[in-house]
Amino acid sequence: MRSKFRPKSLEVLADAQFRALILSQAIFDLGIFIRGAAASWVVLELTHSPLWIGLVAGVRAIPILILPMFGGVIADRFDRRKLMFAAGLLTAAASGATGLLIVTDTLVPWHMVALAIFGGISYSLYSPAYYALIADIVPSERLSNANGILSVAQTTGEMIGPVITGVVIASSGTHTAYWLVVVGNLIGVTLLFRIREPERTAPVETDSADPLEKTSFTNQFSAGLRYARNTPPLRWLTVLVAAQNIFGVAIFPLMPIYAEEILEIGPTGFGLMGGVFGAGTLIGAIVISITGIHRRRAYVMVSMGLVWDIGMVVFGYSRSVPVSLAALFAMGLISMPWVTSVLTMFQQAAQKEMRARVMSLFVTSMGLFSVGWLFGGAVAEWIGNEEALVTSALLGTPVAVIALLLSKELRKA
């Protein structure tokens, strides 16, 4: 007798467009993590400074603070796929330029800063369209499952990307890692054209009688800001996620330092660190894709943040490779319930005509993760590695608890 039980994740995967989006995004995400790991190692070789590692990652936040709402308005006005295509090509161009500079032995630290800014521009344009497209394709009641599936695609790249990077760097140099990213991005953008652009009606967002003014870029930009300001869960959620991404992720710029100088496991071990963290995120994402997220998502977010902070402190004081890897695995495991809770809350708070603009708030607040790299690298440079990780932990979950206490709407989100 056939079982009548069918996991909700299989219902989402039955959509051919969603499958194409997953495959495209999986390739993009693999490139993101290869490029991120390679950049950390390149900067370490150039400077041997955690501050520089954090700076190169942190400058990505400059365009992310400015451009996502513009990207959201563009994605609400025009074809989301074409915007994603253009942003993907920009990323490929930046990766190709990095590889060329390495091959010609002309790379200097400020080049990495400039190229990181280009990466932030691409992210700012691509991501609001991408997250809005998910909600366009998937019914609201299946969003948490869909986000879990997409997290599986992302975390597969997060798991194997650093491992690939470590092996490639050890065998043929960092330039090869960047060439791999270029090829992957070109494949990923071509897959986007297998997705149909959903039909959308132009929203009426002003009282003006002029129909052109009703759909002007400026009016839609202003309407997005008003919507965010007047929707309490969005306002609090944006502040909370931004704070946690700035102050709660100091571990990442310190991972190459621990691999090279403290645990003494070299580039291959550095790749293994990222791979173990990615394995944890992959398992967490698989569980979320099958089970979804508990309806009290804000409480899931806070409890997972507490585990993250503990793992960060354990990693900081560990001098044992197995203990350090175990801490990274645990942090990866709980990161996916956290991210999926946040993403689903943003998506469900958005009216259809505001979808990409609301998702631009998610992109901006999550994009401040780059500032967290800068914060972590700077604090480690000034007061020490372990102290930086303790400081990061103390500024993580306590901020989330304060936000919950102050916002009834956030507690219900």
> pLDDT tens digit string along 338-356?
888 888 888 777 777 777 8
Residue 203 in domain: no
Any idea which of 9-13, 245-249, 392-396 has the lowest mean pLDDT?
Answer: 9-13
Any idea which of 30-44, 46-60, 95-109 has the lowest mean pLDDT?
Answer: 46-60
Question: What pLDDT, on a 0 to 100 scale, did the predictor assign at position 42?
Answer: 86
Question: What pLDDT, on a 0 to 100 scale, did the predictor assign at position 327?
Answer: 93
Question: What pLDDT, on a 0 to 100 scale, did the predictor assign at position 1?
Answer: 42
Question: What pLDDT, on a 0 to 100 scale, did the predictor assign at position 136?
Answer: 83
**For residue 153, pLDDT beyond 60:** yes
Question: What pLDDT, on a 0 to 100 scale, did the predictor assign at position 353?
Answer: 74
Confidence band for 326, pLDDT divided at 50, 70 and 90: very high
Question: What pLDDT, on a 0 to 100 scale, did the predictor assign at position 315?
Answer: 92
Question: What pLDDT, on a 0 to 100 scale, did the predictor assign at position 324?
Answer: 92
Any idea which of 10-19, 30-39, 123-132, 333-342 has the lowest mean pLDDT?
Answer: 10-19
Residue 205 in domain: no
**For residue 292, pLDDT beyond 80:** no
Residue 89 in domain: yes
**For residue 211, pLDDT beyond 70:** no
**What is the average pLDDT across 179-201?**
81
Question: What pLDDT, on a 0 to 100 scale, did the predictor assign at position 331?
Answer: 92
Question: What pLDDT, on a 0 to 100 scale, did the predictor assign at position 213?
Answer: 42
Question: What pLDDT, on a 0 to 100 scale, did the predictor assign at position 9?
Answer: 64
**What is the average pLDDT across 76-91?**
87
Question: What pLDDT, on a 0 to 100 scale, did the predictor assign at position 158?
Answer: 67
More confident residue, 136 or 326: 326
Q: Looking at the 3D structure of the chain, how many domains does it have?
A: 1
**For residue 5, pLDDT beyond 60:** no
Question: What pLDDT, on a 0 to 100 scale, did the predictor assign at position 323?
Answer: 93
Provide, rounded to the nearest whole percent, the portion of the chain with pLDDT above 90. Answer: 4
**What is the average pLDDT across 41-67?**
80
Q: What CATH number corresponds to the domain at position 248? A: 1.20.1250.20
Confidence band for 207, pLDDT divided at 50, 70 and 90: very low
Question: What pLDDT, on a 0 to 100 scale, did the predictor assign at position 208?
Answer: 41
Count of CB atoms within 10 A of residue 294's CB?
12
Question: What pLDDT, on a 0 to 100 scale, did the predictor assign at position 8?
Answer: 62
Residue 375 in domain: yes
Domain range for 300 is 8-196+216-412
**For residue 26, pLDDT beyond 50:** yes
**What is the average pLDDT across 61-69?**
83
Find out whether 123 and 35 touch, Cβ atoms under 8 Å: no
Residue 207 in domain: no
Any idea which of 5-9, 95-99, 110-114, 237-241 has the lowest mean pLDDT?
Answer: 5-9
More confident residue, 194 or 396: 194
Mean pLDDT of all residues belonging to the chain: 80
Place of tokens 């206490």: 405
Any idea which of 1-5, 184-188, 362-366 has the lowest mean pLDDT?
Answer: 1-5
Q: Report which residue type is found at 347.
A: Q
More confident residue, 179 or 409: 179
State pLDDT tens for residues 354-364: 778 888 888 88
Residue from 60, 211, 201, 37 nearest 124 by CA: 60
Tokens of 261: 């100088």
**What is the average pLDDT across 83-111?**
88
Residue 399 in domain: yes
Confidence band for 409, pLDDT divided at 50, 70 and 90: low
**For residue 150, pLDDT beyond 70:** yes
Residue 206 in domain: no
Q: What is the pTM of this model?
A: 0.69
Q: How far apart are CA 98 and CA 101, in angstroms?
A: 5
**For residue 228, pLDDT beyond 80:** no
Residue 22 in domain: yes
Confidence band for 2, pLDDT divided at 50, 70 and 90: very low
